[in-house]
Structure 1
Amino acid sequence: MRKTLPEKYYLDHFSEFLAFFSGASAALLDEKSRRFIADFQALPEPQQCIIARAANRKYAIINREHFYYEEINQPQVQLDALITSGWFGPLSEAPVWEMAGMLTKADVLQCLRDLGVSGFVVSAKKAELMTLLFDAVETQGWPSSLSVEHLLFCRFDSAMRYLLFLYFGNNKGRLNQFSMRDLGIMRTRQQAVSDQARFDIPEDAQAAFHYASGADEFDFLNNNELLALGAKPQPETFSTISQVYAERYHTKLGSKLLSIDRHAALQFLEKAPGDAAKEKWLREAYKEGRKDEVKAQLEAIIDSPASDTLLAFAEDFYQRKYHKKRTSVVTDMLRNASRTLQLDESQNQAVEQGVIAWYKRHNIEAWRTENRLWRSLFALTFWPILFEKDAPVTEFDRRPQSLKNNNFYTTFHTDIDALLAKVDNAAALMKHIAAMAAAHYGKANSLFLWGTKVLDPIKGLLAHAPIEQVLQVIKMMAEDFNSLRDGFPDIMVLENGLLRFEEIKAPGDQLRRNQLVSIQKLQQAGFEVQITQVSWYRDPQQPYAVVDIETTGGHSQYHRITEVGIVKIVNGEVVDEWQSLINPQRHIPSNITRLTGISNDMVVDAPVFAEIADAIDEFTQDCVFVAHNVNFDYGFIKQEFARLERPFRRPKLCTVRESRKAFPGLPSYSLANLTKHFEVKMEQHHRALSDARAAAELLVMSQQVD
């Protein structure tokens, strides 16, 4: 049953949002935000509704002509009262980035032309054009072509943005998340919340907000403003989370300054915190000829690294620049790939899946792992600590605070070590993980997605890997989650009783720094890791599942499947077929019955999709999914699996596209016209198996063309 929201849901949500600041976070409020809350609560309800509606907007500018809501008594009168009392002001008070959100790039270009601004490049970024526009508006006002007299600026925006930052822990959170929660669209951790603040002191909260919001505004500042920021003293940080925002701020600003004043930029980057800024300074200082300074800094990092990521960079850069090694570690690893595997060219949309299918055909077991294996193993192992002891600040927090701050082990080392001591054998760890999965299945978390097969690769790992190696990796993740949160190899392979991990690289793929770090950590723990390079060819043994469906209509979101027909082809020959009518659990329109011949009476006793989903999944396993206009058939099948909360992913091939390539110049590439042109037998058009057979024959014909 579709959920609905009460009439003034937005006001209820706004009140719920403000109630948060009566608890532990009250100590973090500055004078402006404290006054905003008090003034809002003193307003009459209709005016509170106006403010709550405006606060829900994406930008701090509203068009009063569009501000009519039935549940608000005399909204324009209420707006006038709020303008008089200072809640809203003219558009001229709005920051450039707020107006940028309201205008399209085409609007900006037209305004520049109307104001007579010349010399701008049409292909320039919107932010650059907005800066030019605001400079012109300051002297000339807004052009008459742009109606701005009804636009109002929300003067309470800066207070609101700070409150939103304190509540959500970032500058992206919006109040509409409350509605998404109530509608059941968004899962939250409502039961786990405790009354705590994100920061210990207001100075740290304000510093974090300064850095988080400031970094978003750089694109709208001119060169002089950026240089002034670079020379300006910046607020001190007192926690890991504010340091993270400060690092991003300094790295981004330093990078922008490089194109304006390299000397000032290098001075700024040299003092800036964080790995990214340090790496940027080392690279740019080396270009400037400051080789001795850079060498000393690299040696200091290697002797005492701040992180594994920075160490990986320093060792590689040091070898290449000072020992004249010509290639990077990443390049060497790719060049010295453990093996090269030839795959059918149709697998280029899902390379890892294609490699797993290749192994399966050669009786070798393989699992798609990438980050999901290690992150799910990490989360389920430490669930009682991550999601119970490390309680969220608000129900919308998906990632535990200690992971955000990268101090999980520092904060909970006693609990972590005690838990790892209890699961010191594979059976004990698997029992613990299974219990956690059973108790918490489906609960919101930011580390992995739940699924019916989430434990399968974990079982494979624990059955064949030494437990000491497994525990070492998840402890390393606990100690430095930021460095090991991603970049893990794509697949896990069990061959001749031996387990290994493989990073799959198709032609043109690069090995990223985070992948290098994760691979090195796995190797450090004792795991075998290899790089598998893939090359393409046409594999005669690659199976193709040529699919056709009939439906109740043309939109997969609203309509349902009434019949599926599948023809399996290997090496140009039909090796199997599968067909079934399906009860769509809804009325089949008469025009559809006239088209397909499938009536409501024919499907009344047919299985529903859930009853034949396993058969379709198994029949198409390891196949290329082929159809005439493939996105239609694939989209419906994928949507049906999604309704069952099951994934469905196959590489796709379209016989329309293949026919166009193989037989250019034909007047039509519809299935009916192609079969007529090539005299392909089609027993009953718009019945699934008949159409699938015809499409299969077209596929074989197109593949025979050089």
Structure 2
Amino acid sequence: MRKTLPERYYLDHFYEFLQFFEGANRPLVDAKTAAFIEAFKALDKDDQCLIVRAANRKYPVVVSKTFDYAEINAPLERLTGLREAGWFTSISQGDSYSLGQAMTKSDLLILLKDNGCQASSSLAKQALIDELAGVMARQPLVVMDELNEQYLLRAYDVPLSYLLFLYFGHTRGRLNQFSMRDLGVMRTRQDVSQQLARFEGQDAARGAFYYARQLTAFKQLNEEEKAHFSLDTDVTVHCPIGQDYRDRVLFQMGSYWLAKDAPKALAYLQQAGSDQAQEKWLRESYKLGHKDAVQQALEAIIDDPASDTLLAFAEDFYARKFDRKRTSTLTDMLRDATHVVQLDDIHNQSVEQGVISYYRRQGLAAYRSENQPWRMLFGLLFWDWLYGEWGLVSEFDRRPQVLRYNDFYDRFGSDIEQHLNKYCASAGTLHRYLLKQASAHYGKVNSIFMWRQGLPQSLTILLEHTNMENLRQFLVLMCKDYASLRDGFPDILVVDNSSLRFEEIKAPGDQLRRNQLITIQRLRQCGFEVGITQVNWYHDPLQPYVVVDIETTGGQSAYHRITEVGMVKLIGGEEVARWQSLINPQRHIPSRITQLTGISDDMVAGAPVFAEVAEDIEAFTQDSVFVAHNVNFDYGFIKQEFARLELDFKRPKFCTCARMRKAFPGLKSYGLGALSAHFDIRLQNHHRALDDAQAAAELLRLIQSKNEELLAKEE
């Protein structure tokens, strides 16, 4: 049912939006934009409602007949008056894309036909808009007068766009995000005080806005139009946001011109200051033979690097091009693997979990780590700076200003050092502080990490076994260059005789990425043991398989619940353990299900609920392959039950139904009952969990035997 919004709902939100410019951000509003605000406030409420309704539309061209709102008296007459007052204007030849976006596809086809263009109805709408742009570039539309009666162009988009840019900090922000917030579609930080200015001054704001608009405009152009695009690089930037947008548009322009005019492209790339642009300039300049200039630039970067990312590239590129090194640092690190693990190829879809299982079978403790524990550690430890008084500008912000600018340590260096000295004094002190922070801020929107109940196990293990001085040093590096050290962390951590090490897992064909190289190098620099583990595939005869069957109250894991679980564990084809339990689904079992399975409400009334057996199921299946007949059904229900407990459940999967089709093609049916009958497998109580699991285990043996036969023939 469609929700009825309060009268003048959008107008109220627009005034909430304007309130943002009454505080710390007021100095950023220039004279023209301030005049727009004052002129808007001088209108009566009906006119204001109409303007705001139009402002909430996605495109600058609006269809007049669609402004039929009960909250606005005589909307069409008011629209005419606002047009005469300059709030809206007529469509011109240069508004082809805006016009096309506002039109329906059928109206576009009619318009093109009226102007002598027979476009196919099978074309996508964007292709039709491109056709319209071509027509309007060549000649005036023959029905322009009629169009201007139906379509109007917002004449206040420039001041409105500037205000939106100040509020959201980018050009993608729209007024409809307020309603998305109210509907619960978009979560925001409603605890933001909104006393922080987005920019230090009007010049910084206007410069950033100019380059942001130019970047958006360039991306929307077709290839021919990009050739005529010009950028006023004399517009100065006074802040990191402006510099970022300037760098990005110059990079886009440089990339466009590379294949057409290399010197022009290199000039654009050289003007851009981003790591991405500098790397491209160096690579392309080297290709064109400018080796002396490239060598000098690389040496300058190595002497005074702007970031770890750029330094890693410069050192590697210099070594290969000027020191005649044959392989890259990434390749060298991958070749110098510190560990080699032989792993059953059943783990090829979840390599890291396979290595963890391998280590556990060796008696070692291993945990998935990657980025999450590090980012949660960083986010919780510095939460009060990142999301406190100086963190966010508006409630829609997710990334703290200091991380967006990458100047966290520059601004708060001495405070950060004191904070680290206080809370990194011992693992216990830091652990207690992190728990306190997690309790105080649990669930709040942030861009650094995802919330979990409590601290991730990998983070707790890290704190228990790490050298606190090593940890403190690395956290300082994260504060100094979060942009380079926010990801790329090793996949797993291993505890061996109370000694902690990290491992980056690489299967055959995997590559080491530069962000991984940088993070691994910095971790090693701070005293952490970090290795590369190379995985080789083979058939492991001792790989445990757990064959699972469940009975449920219905067929959809999101709505129905488990009533019984049966499991059989096989190692080397031999049964080593079995487990079975009825489960209380905490709801009525439909009669048709009882007729199928024989499981009734009375039978499960005294049975444990899933939460009471979850630990047993976790332990029984740990380090094993999850096998079932139509595995996604059983696995999906088990995973969903764990998710309801806010626990993760992940195992490699093996489907006996799919594998039987491959191993024994051409049978009439591959249902469990039919296959059991065909292969003379005992199935006494079909649709009871343990009996079905035992039958599926026999199918697994058949499949494994068939595979061994095929391998023997190949040898």
**TM-score bracket for this pair, using the shorter chain length:** 0.7 to 0.9
C-alpha distance in structure 2 between counterparts of 1:690 and 1:140, whole Å: 78
Give the partner amino acid of 1:571.
Answer: G
- Superposed CA deviations along residues 404-427 of structure 1, whole A, max 9, x for unmatched, are 111111111121111122233333
Q: Name the residue aligned to 1:28.
A: 28
Give the partner amino acid of 2:504.
Answer: E
User: Which stretch shifts more, 343-352 or 455-464?
Assistant: 455-464
Q: Name the residue aligned to 1:494.
A: 495
Q: Name the residue aligned to 1:671.
A: 672
- Superposed CA deviations along residues 500-539 of structure 1, whole A, max 9, x for unmatched, are 1111112222111111111111111111211111122232
1:129-528 residue pairs with structure 2 within 5 A? 131=130, 134-139=133-138, 154-184=154-184, 186-223=186-223, 225-229=225-229, 232-422=232-422, 423-452=424-453, 454-528=455-529
Q: Is the 8 A contact 1:168 1:397 kept in 2?
A: yes
User: How much does 1:126 deviate?
Assistant: 9.5
C-alpha distance in structure 2 between counterparts of 1:5 and 1:611, whole Å: 44
Q: Is the 8 A contact 1:623 1:650 kept in 2?
A: yes
User: How much does 1:225 deviate?
Assistant: 3.9
Q: Is the 8 A contact 1:279 1:310 kept in 2?
A: yes
Q: Is the 8 A contact 2:568 2:693 kept in 1?
A: yes
Is the partner of 1:204 in helix, strand or coil? helix
Residues 74 and 700 (structure 1 numbering): CA distance in 2 closer, same or farther, change over 3 Å? farther
Q: Name the residue aligned to 2:693.
A: 692
Q: Is the 8 A contact 2:308 2:518 kept in 1?
A: yes
C-alpha distance in structure 2 between counterparts of 1:560 and 1:494, whole Å: 37
User: Which stretch shifts more, 454-463 or 331-340?
Assistant: 454-463
Q: Name the residue aligned to 2:712.
A: none
C-alpha distance in structure 2 between counterparts of 1:108 and 1:349, whole Å: 47
- Superposed CA deviations along residues 481-508 of structure 1, whole A, max 9, x for unmatched, are 1111111111111223322111111222
C-alpha distance in structure 2 between counterparts of 1:635 and 1:514, whole Å: 34
User: How much does 1:669 deviate?
Assistant: 3.0
Q: Please say which structure displays the higher CA radius of gyration.
A: 2
User: Which stretch shifts more, 106-115 or 414-423?
Assistant: 106-115
1:518-597 residue pairs with structure 2 within 5 A? 518-597=519-598
Is the partner of 1:7 in helix, strand or coil? coil
Q: Name the residue aligned to 1:13.
A: 13
Give the partner amino acid of 1:260.
Answer: K
User: Which stretch shifts more, 27-36 or 434-443?
Assistant: 27-36
C-alpha distance in structure 1 between counterparts of 2:653 and 2:108, whole Å: 41
Q: Name the residue aligned to 1:614.
A: 615
Residues 601 and 483 (structure 1 numbering): CA distance in 2 closer, same or farther, change over 3 Å? same
C-alpha distance in structure 2 between counterparts of 1:103 and 1:620, whole Å: 57
User: How much does 1:352 deviate?
Assistant: 1.3
Q: Is the 8 A contact 1:628 1:695 kept in 2?
A: yes
User: Which stretch shifts more, 441-450 or 30-39?
Assistant: 30-39
User: Which stretch shifts more, 257-266 or 30-39?
Assistant: 30-39
Q: Is the 8 A contact 2:470 2:526 kept in 1?
A: yes
Is the partner of 2:502 in helix, strand or coil? strand
Residues 256 and 99 (structure 1 numbering): CA distance in 2 closer, same or farther, change over 3 Å? farther
Give the partner amino acid of 1:242.
Answer: G
User: How much does 1:358 deviate?
Assistant: 1.1
Give the partner amino acid of 1:349.
Answer: Q
User: How much does 1:199 deviate?
Assistant: 0.6
User: Which stretch shifts more, 78-87 or 483-492?
Assistant: 78-87
- Superposed CA deviations along residues 670-699 of structure 1, whole A, max 9, x for unmatched, are 334333333333334444333333333323
Contiguous gaps of at least 5 residues in structure 1: none
C-alpha distance in structure 1 between counterparts of 2:556 and 2:99, whole Å: 37
Q: Is the 8 A contact 1:502 1:529 kept in 2?
A: yes
User: How much does 1:356 deviate?
Assistant: 1.2
C-alpha distance in structure 2 between counterparts of 1:606 and 1:74, whole Å: 67
Q: Is the 8 A contact 1:192 1:395 kept in 2?
A: yes
Contiguous gaps of at least 5 residues in structure 2: 708-715
Q: Name the residue aligned to 1:647.
A: 648
User: Which stretch shifts more, 258-267 or 572-581?
Assistant: 572-581
C-alpha distance in structure 1 between counterparts of 2:115 and 2:705, whole Å: 62
Give the partner amino acid of 1:519.
Answer: I
C-alpha distance in structure 2 between counterparts of 1:151 and 1:508, whole Å: 56
Give the partner amino acid of 2:651.
Answer: R
Residues 136 and 484 (structure 1 numbering): CA distance in 2 closer, same or farther, change over 3 Å? same
Q: Is the 8 A contact 1:5 1:183 kept in 2?
A: no
C-alpha distance in structure 2 between counterparts of 1:217 and 1:351, whole Å: 43
C-alpha distance in structure 1 between counterparts of 2:296 and 2:27, whole Å: 44
- Superposed CA deviations along residues 334-389 of structure 1, whole A, max 9, x for unmatched, are 11212221222222222212211111111111221111122122222222322224
User: Which stretch shifts more, 470-479 or 683-692?
Assistant: 683-692
C-alpha distance in structure 1 between counterparts of 2:511 and 2:251, whole Å: 24
Is the partner of 1:247 in helix, strand or coil? helix
Residues 584 and 221 (structure 1 numbering): CA distance in 2 closer, same or farther, change over 3 Å? same
Q: Is the 8 A contact 1:563 1:580 kept in 2?
A: yes
Residues 460 and 107 (structure 1 numbering): CA distance in 2 closer, same or farther, change over 3 Å? farther
Q: Is the 8 A contact 1:215 1:253 kept in 2?
A: no
Q: Is the 8 A contact 1:547 1:626 kept in 2?
A: yes
Is the partner of 1:704 in helix, strand or coil? helix
C-alpha distance in structure 2 between counterparts of 1:626 and 1:70, whole Å: 60
Residues 508 and 161 (structure 1 numbering): CA distance in 2 closer, same or farther, change over 3 Å? farther
C-alpha distance in structure 2 between counterparts of 1:156 and 1:337, whole Å: 61
Residues 24 and 623 (structure 1 numbering): CA distance in 2 closer, same or farther, change over 3 Å? same
User: Which stretch shifts more, 612-621 or 291-300?
Assistant: 612-621
Q: Is the 8 A contact 1:64 1:150 kept in 2?
A: yes
C-alpha distance in structure 2 between counterparts of 1:157 and 1:588, whole Å: 59
Percent identity reads: 53
Q: Is the 8 A contact 1:553 1:560 kept in 2?
A: yes
Is the partner of 1:632 in helix, strand or coil? helix
User: How much does 1:327 deviate?
Assistant: 1.0
Q: Is the 8 A contact 1:4 1:183 kept in 2?
A: no
User: How much does 1:220 deviate?
Assistant: 3.2
Residues 542 and 106 (structure 1 numbering): CA distance in 2 closer, same or farther, change over 3 Å? farther
- Superposed CA deviations along residues 185-237 of structure 1, whole A, max 9, x for unmatched, are 55433224241221112232232233334333334324454344456435221
Residues 192 and 117 (structure 1 numbering): CA distance in 2 closer, same or farther, change over 3 Å? same
CA RMSD of aligned residues (A): 3.9
Give the length in aligned residue pairs. Answer: 701
Give the partner amino acid of 1:695.
Answer: A
TM-score by length of 1: 0.87
User: How much does 1:130 deviate?
Assistant: 5.7
Q: Name the residue aligned to 1:681.
A: 682
User: How much does 1:238 deviate?
Assistant: 0.8
Is the partner of 2:627 in helix, strand or coil? strand
User: How much does 1:397 deviate?
Assistant: 2.1
C-alpha distance in structure 2 between counterparts of 1:76 and 1:608, whole Å: 62
C-alpha distance in structure 2 between counterparts of 1:319 and 1:103, whole Å: 57
Q: Is the 8 A contact 2:541 2:572 kept in 1?
A: yes
Q: Is the 8 A contact 2:473 2:526 kept in 1?
A: yes
Is the partner of 1:680 in helix, strand or coil? coil
C-alpha distance in structure 2 between counterparts of 1:551 and 1:84, whole Å: 67
C-alpha distance in structure 1 between counterparts of 2:91 and 2:667, whole Å: 58
